[in-house]
């Protein structure tokens, strides 16, 4: 294997045909899944753009202290002496190229890339009703009809040109392409909106909220706080507005899928598809009114479970499903080992390459995620243990005192709607999961 192409899709939940969605129109991602390996239980450490992308590109898990840094939580500030994924490849004579949103902050880790292209999001929509006169965003959705390329289309076109150029070079490459949709605002060409109708949108999971969970388990609809036409609704979005929002999200998913298809076509046209590993992942999920909330920033599986598909020629068996619990910090060591490179000691994941060769009998038994709820007296932390059947969460205050616990049996309640922590029938399960939580990710980290 010579080259690596990583495709990063923002706010993409597992609402794809490849993951069993009955409504998603995603033929290109589904095609990639048929040609490669699909991970059914892939989790991010934190359901937000900055920490998720940082953990993927550094191989290091975020911490509550990292989140307190806010816009100072960057490679440039917190990982200055570390070896990022592009650093590793560049130091080993790979050409490294970045297009679109890869890091959350475009200028971060700039010296890790041989080529770096970022486009400004939607400035050209001013004066068309998308923004107000004061610059604030007016609407969450927008049907794009004038034919001008959207930023993702520009980025992908430039990436395809780069692929054509790299095909004639003797050096291998590591390319990362960030597709911004379906991140808010949900702007997609009218043709992608036309792929859906009110009758073909995803069903809302438990719109009335969870039973028995603490109120802070689900955050307020903070995603909409800066959008003028949604400010007055709070946590209660009228049905007709909610329908348009879900429609816009799915149109953006199909738009992102077309961008993936363009990149895959670009690889083939450049003659690179037989010697390039393709990794597609979502940086976190997104709730569409599910459990009574919109957005991310929770430890619900809709937020922290993500699509992860790998097509590695001569390594992955077409159509393979991997049920083992994996975490996105595992991608860094996987790519390093695949290229016979040694990952640095700071990497906190483990290569998943052995999962392509045999069953996962000795694999780690859980994936770990967390979230925070800022308060004037200090942030509450919700720490989750994601096992194959269960999700167990413990909420603690700044002093480390346990405030609440949650347990969901995903075999009986795949929507994670009913907290079963007080059910005595689960006492033994809770004890086992608490042991895993106390041991932490190091305690369950196993390689094959």
250 shares its domain with 352: yes
Would you mind telling me the total number of residues written for the chain in this entry? Answer: 448
Backbone angles phi, psi at 445, to 5 degrees: -70, 115
- Evaluate whether residue 362 is within a structural domain: no
Over the stretch 422-432, which tens digit does the pLDDT of each residue have? 999 999 999 99
425 shares its domain with 306: no
- Evaluate whether residue 147 is within a structural domain: yes
| Residue 41: pLDDT band with limits 50, 70, 90 | very high
207 shares its domain with 229: yes
259 shares its domain with 403: no
CA distances from residue 94 to 97, 112, 113, 339, 351 in whole angstroms, order as listed: 10, 11, 10, 11, 20
Over the stretch 48-97, which tens digit does the pLDDT of each residue have? 999 999 999 999 999 999 988 888 888 988 888 899 999 999 999 999 99
pLDDT at 188 over 90: yes
- Evaluate whether residue 137 is within a structural domain: yes
Specify the number of domains making up the chain. 2
Give the residues across from 391 on adjacent strands: 386, 408
How many CA atoms lie less than 13 Å away from 440 in the CB half-sphere?
A: 5
100 shares its domain with 159: yes
pLDDT at 395: 97
| Residue 135: pLDDT band with limits 50, 70, 90 | low
For the segment 240-263, the average pLDDT, to the nearest whole number, is 97
pLDDT at 361: 63
% residues pLDDT > 90 (the chain): 76
Q: Record the tokens describing residue 287, joined without a space.
A: 């709730």
User: Of 328, 356, 384, which closes a domain?
Assistant: 356
CATH code of residue 339: 3.40.720.10
Three-point CA angle 409, 414, 420, nearest 5°? 30
Contact (Cβ atoms closer than 8 angstroms) between residue 220 and residue 293: yes
Dist. CA 166–CA 148, nearest whole Å:
27
pLDDT at 366: 94
- Evaluate whether residue 56 is within a structural domain: yes
397 shares its domain with 328: no
Neighbour tally for 354: CB within 10 Å: 17
Neighbour tally for 256: CB within 10 Å: 27
**Longest distance between any two alpha carbons in the chain, whole Å:** 65
pLDDT at 325 over 70: yes
For the segment 239-264, the average pLDDT, to the nearest whole number, is 97
- Evaluate whether residue 248 is within a structural domain: yes
227 shares its domain with 133: yes
Strands 173-179 and 95-100: parallel
- Spatial neighbors of 59 by CB under 8 A, at least 6 apart, are 85, 329, 332, 333, 343, 344, 346, 347, 348, 349
- Evaluate whether residue 361 is within a structural domain: no
272 shares its domain with 408: no
Give the helix, strand, coil percentages of the chain, each rounded to 5. Answer: 35, 20, 45
42 shares its domain with 162: yes
- Evaluate whether residue 102 is within a structural domain: yes
For the segment 29-41, the average pLDDT, to the nearest whole number, is 97
Contact (Cβ atoms closer than 8 angstroms) between residue 254 and residue 191: no
Over the stretch 372-390, which tens digit does the pLDDT of each residue have? 998 867 889 999 999 999 9
- Classify residue 120 by burial, with Cβ atoms within 10 Å: 0-12, 13-18, 19+: exposed
78 shares its domain with 121: yes
Contact (Cβ atoms closer than 8 angstroms) between residue 48 and residue 284: yes
pLDDT at 130 over 90: no
412 shares its domain with 275: no
Mean pLDDT rounded to a whole number for the chain: 92
pLDDT at 137 over 80: no
pLDDT at 448: 37
Give the DSSP per-residue string, 366-394: -EEEEEEE--TT--EEEEEEE-SSEEEEE
Single pTM value for the model: 0.95
Domain region containing 414: 367-444
316 shares its domain with 428: no
Backbone angle region of 320, left / alpha / beta, with phi > 0 → left and psi within -120 to 50 → alpha: beta
pLDDT at 359: 63
User: Of 297, 325, 356, which closes a domain?
Assistant: 356
CATH code of residue 433: 3.30.1120
Across 166-175, 335-344, 357-366, least confident range: 357-366
User: Of 297, 327, 356, which closes a domain?
Assistant: 356
- Evaluate whether residue 152 is within a structural domain: yes
Nearest to 4 by CA among 336, 260, 357: 336
Across 3-12, 101-110, 309-318, 437-446, least confident range: 437-446
Over the stretch 264-319, which tens digit does the pLDDT of each residue have? 999 999 999 999 999 999 999 999 999 999 999 999 999 999 999 999 999 999 99
């Amino acid at each position: 294997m010579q080259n690596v192409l990583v495709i990063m899709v923002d706010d993409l939940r597992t609402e794809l045909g490849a993951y069993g969605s009955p409504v998603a129109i995603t033929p290109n991602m589904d095609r990639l899944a048929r040609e490669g390996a699909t991970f059914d239980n892939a989790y991010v450490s934190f359901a937000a753009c900055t920490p998720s992308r940082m953990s993927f590109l550094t191989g290091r898990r975020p911490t509550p202290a990292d989140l307190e840094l806010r816009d100072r939580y960057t490679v440039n500030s917190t990982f200055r002496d570390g070896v990022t994924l592009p650093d590793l490849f560049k130091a080993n004579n790979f050409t490294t190229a970045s297009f679109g949103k890869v890091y959350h902050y475009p200028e971060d880790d700039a010296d890790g890339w041989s080529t770096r292209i970022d486009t400004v999001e939607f400035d050209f929509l001013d004066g068309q009703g998308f923004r107000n006169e004061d610059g604030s965003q007016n609407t969450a959705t927008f049907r794009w009809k004038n034919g001008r390329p959207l930023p993702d289309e520009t980025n992908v076109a430039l990436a395809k040109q780069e692929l054509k150029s790299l095909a004639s070079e003797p050096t291998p490459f590591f390319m990362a392409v960030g597709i911004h949709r379906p991140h808010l605002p949900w702007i997609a060409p009218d043709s992608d909106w036309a792929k859906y109708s009110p009758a073909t949108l995803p069903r809302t999971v438990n719109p009335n909220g969870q039973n028995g969970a603490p109120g802070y388990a689900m955050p307020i609809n903070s995603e909409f706080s800066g959008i003028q036409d949604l400010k007055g609704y709070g946590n209660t979005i009228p049905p007709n507005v909610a329908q348009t929002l879900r429609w816009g999200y799915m149109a953006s998913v199909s738009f992102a899928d077309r961008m993936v298809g363009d990149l895959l076509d670009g690889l083939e046209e450049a003659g690179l598809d037989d010697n390039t590993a393709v990794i597609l992942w979502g940086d976190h999920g997104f709730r569409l009114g599910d459990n009574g909330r919109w957005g991310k920033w929770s430890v619900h599986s809709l937020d922290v479970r993500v699509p992860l598909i790998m097509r590695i020629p001569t390594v992955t068996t077409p159509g393979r499903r991997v049920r083992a619990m994996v975490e996105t910090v595992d991608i860094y060591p996987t790519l390093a080992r695949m290229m016979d490179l040694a990952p640095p000691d700071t990497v906190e994941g483990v290569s998943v390459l052995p999962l392509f060769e045999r069953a996962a009998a000795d694999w780690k038994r859980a994936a770990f995620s967390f979230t925070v709820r800022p308060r004037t007296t200090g942030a509450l932390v919700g720490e989750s243990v994601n096992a194959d059947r269960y999700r167990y969460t413990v909420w603690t205050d700044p002093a480390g005192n346990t405030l609440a616990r949650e347990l969901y049996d995903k075999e009986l309640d795949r929507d994670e709607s009913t907290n079963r922590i007080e059910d005595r029938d689960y006492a033994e399960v809770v004890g086992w999961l608490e042991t895993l939580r106390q041991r932490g990710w190091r305690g369950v980290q196993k390689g094959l």
